[in-house]
Amino acid sequence: MKITFFSTKPYDKEFFDKVNQDFKFELEYFETHLGPHILNVIVHSDAVCAFVNDTLNAEVLESLSKKGVKYIALRCAGFNNVDLEAAKRLGIRVSRVPAYSPEAVAEHAMAMILTLNRKTHKAYNRVREQNFSLNGLMGFNLYQKTIGVIGTGNIGTAFAKIAKGFGAKILAYDITENQELKDLGIEYVPMDKLLSDSDIISLHCPLMDSTHHLIDKESISKMKENVMIINTSRGGLIDTKAVIDGLKSKHIGYLGIDVYEQEEKLFFRDLSHTIIEDDTIQRLMSFPNVLVTAHQAFFTEEALHQIATSTLTSLSNFEANNEFENPNAVLV
């Protein structure tokens, strides 16, 4: 099987080449994003391997189908960038990596909380300049604070367990409740109660029509003053303009985002020598109480190894018409 990769970075190549020693597929790598502009490079490929910001709308899928592509393997968990209906209509099978390392993302969410709270990023710079003053670095104890978790799937569950380890009270909201968390004393509450009672709110649900702009002017108005919002899930969960207003009015005390609504034009690239035209991200980055990371929550050795293994296993299963060990890996 020939697999054409898009949005490839050196670390993708390193892990896929290593894992492919067991599969012996023909791998072809392109650094560019997948979209209508690049389809001509796909020749005699059976499968396309894509990442979070690649475009897999009906137009792209139709062209892929005409070129004989039978499989799409997403090397990520989220699949909001794929038109699954179109894939089904065209008979293209689609897989994803449902749970490569939930702990990687959950631990990054907690790292963002601790950084924003204890200001270690500022302390690091300060001390290097021989400024040993503590003014402006005061944080708060997580112990006995209330942390709201929206979405308690793989990542939300891992995050809730970590947060519980700090002695915080955990409130959860999901459309399906996880008994394992309830057994640990984590309380499921209606969304409005989670919003009104939480000192910290961490988003772990997927981006869908029903969750688009879940955090907007109205939901922010229900939150505690000085609330901390963490988003390691998908940028579209947050109405960025409403959050900027919340930061300016000081209703939102801290914001940590690993994902951003318009991230496909920015993230995963070195733009240090260019003029950024996106005024919204520039405004966000100008706040001292905002921490932006560029979709790195998944980025651990363990996760990359698991992503490569799971992606190539799915393609092997498609080819051999095998049953999937984890049915959640199959989208179409």
Q: What is the number of the residue whose Cβ is closest to ligand NAD?
A: 153
Tell me if 153 contacts ligand NAD by CB under 6 A.
yes
Q: CA 292, CA 277: separation in Å to the nearest integer?
A: 17
Beta bridge partners of 291: 256
Tell me if 97 contacts ligand NAD by CB under 6 A.
no
Tell me if 204 contacts ligand NAD by CB under 6 A.
yes
**Closest distance of CB 88 from ligand NAD, Å:** 19
Cα–Cα distance list, 98 to 95, 210, 331 (Å): 9, 20, 10
Tell me if 77 contacts ligand NAD by CB under 6 A.
yes
107 given a catalytic annotation? no
Which of residues 156, 235, 246, 256 is near ligand NAD by CB under 6 A? 156
- The one catalytic residue among 93, 96, 263, 264: 263
295 given a catalytic annotation? yes
Q: Mask: binding to ligand NAD, 278-307, rule CB under 6 A, as x and -? A: -----------------x-xx---------
Tell me if 233 contacts ligand NAD by CB under 6 A.
yes
Which of residues 86, 195, 205, 242 is near ligand NAD by CB under 6 A? 205
Tell me if 210 contacts ligand NAD by CB under 6 A.
yes
Q: CA 186, CA 178: separation in Å to the nearest integer?
A: 10
283 given a catalytic annotation? no
Give the contacts of 210 (CB within 8 A, at least 6 positions apart). Answer: none
Which of residues 78, 114, 216, 316 is near ligand NAD by CB under 6 A? 78
Count of CB atoms within 10 A of residue 222's CB? 14
Which of residues 103, 206, 266, 294 is near ligand NAD by CB under 6 A? 206
Enumerate residues 161-200 that contact ligand NAD by CB under 6 A: 173-176
Chain residues binding ligand NAD by CB under 6 A are: 77-78, 99, 102, 105, 150-156, 173-176, 204-207, 210-211, 232-234, 258-259, 295, 297-298
Residue numbers annotated as active site: 234, 263, 295
